[in-house]
Amino acid sequence: MLPNDYQPERYQELLNEKVATVLSDFKALDAPEPQIFPSPTHSFRMRAEFRVWHDGEDLNFVMFERERPREPIKISAFPFGSEAIQSLLEPLRALLQGNAILRTKLFQVEFLSTLSGECLVTLIYHRKLDEAWTQEATKVEQSLQIKVIGRSRGQKLVVSDDWVTETLQVDGHPLTYKQPEQAFIQPNATLNQVMLSWACAHAQNTDRDLLELYCGIGNFTIPLSKHFRRVLATEVSKVATRAAQDNLVLNKVGNVAFARLAAEEVTQALNGEREFRRLKSLEPPLNDYDLATVFVDPPRAGLDEGTTRLCQKFNQILYISCNPLTLIDNLRFMRETHRIEALAFFDQFPYTHHLECGISLIRRGSHESTN
């Protein structure tokens, strides 16, 4: 996402074009008319990363066009970024340029921010970092009121914390999330709030249980937990799983259990194909869950065939996708057993071809109704 992609005057036109490229494929699968949720036209990205370009004593944050990978584009303004990121760009650049210890062999800068303005900056180097680096980074933290992490190969130095705390509003209720530097975070916080509300609106209020795959830090887990008796949430990342446990405590949620399993492993466990030591301490035990709904938010590759078949066993499938093409492929299987009850498009990534989708599917012949 480069500066010349910023075209707020064409925002609605670009969104319409993006939706049009995939809508006919969903219609061919008997999907209903979609709800379309636009993004703010600026200041929507909570995350950003830039390469660092050294030219003598000058230091600049830059990006590159894919077609011209050797021609840096200097970033003096970044209207896509959150207000916190935008306000930090020049002060941080100036501090780094004027400090030999922080500048030497610095090659990338990453930002993680929140709606409240908290910001964590990761400085990535082609050299080993030492105590002198920590002392100078501490001064930057204090001067700019941010959090700073230093990284190089095999090394991570945390000056204060390696996370930010985000508060999202979902159906009028504040939810608090610890967001670690290395975990996946939905980049557009405003649209994330909309997606969370949409998922809750389409979750069947039931006295049965929810299985969630790819739960990450508990982004959807926390609000969805209010709509089910119990939730079994799974995630393979250790960093994300630790944050998810912290987020249960922060939000006083008591009906969720986490299991550190990949989606393929969950399929094996539920099909009785394999036992996992990581499930030995699960409370309540796996066999005590009455799982009627499955929620998935997979990576761009979508669901593998085994996980898709597993989902077909549930009364309801709630599916958030960052790739309409792999979602459509999965839906061709899911429609053997389920009908598409609701479709939504969330413009998480304005000015790009990427489109986030939400789908609710109900088992054919099921008499359970949604909210």
Q: Which residues are catalytic?
A: 322, 356
Q: What is the largest CA-CA distance in the chain?
A: 70
Paired strand residues for 166: 177
Paired strand residues for 124: 108, 151
Q: Is residue 67 helix, strand or coil?
A: coil
Tokens read off for 161: 């914390």
Alpha-carbon gap, residue 132 to 129, rounded angstroms: 8
Instruction: Specify the amino acid at residue 13.
Output: E
Alpha-carbon gap, residue 364 to 356, rounded angstroms: 25
Using alpha carbons only, give the angle 302, 230, 174 rounded to the nearest 5 degrees: 80
- Whether cis (ω within 30° of 0) applies to the bond prior to 350 is no
Using alpha carbons only, give the angle 238, 307, 189 rounded to the nearest 5 degrees: 55
What is the pairing mode between strands 338-346 and 147-152? unpaired
Alpha-carbon gap, residue 341 to 136, rounded angstroms: 55
H-type helices in 291-366, by residue range? 305-311, 324-334
Paired strand residues for 291: 209
Tokens read off for 214: 């790819």
324 near 18, Cβ under 8 Å?
A: no
Alpha-carbon gap, residue 51 to 109, rounded angstroms: 6
- Which single residue is written with the structure tokens 């466990």? 269
191 near 348, Cβ under 8 Å?
A: yes
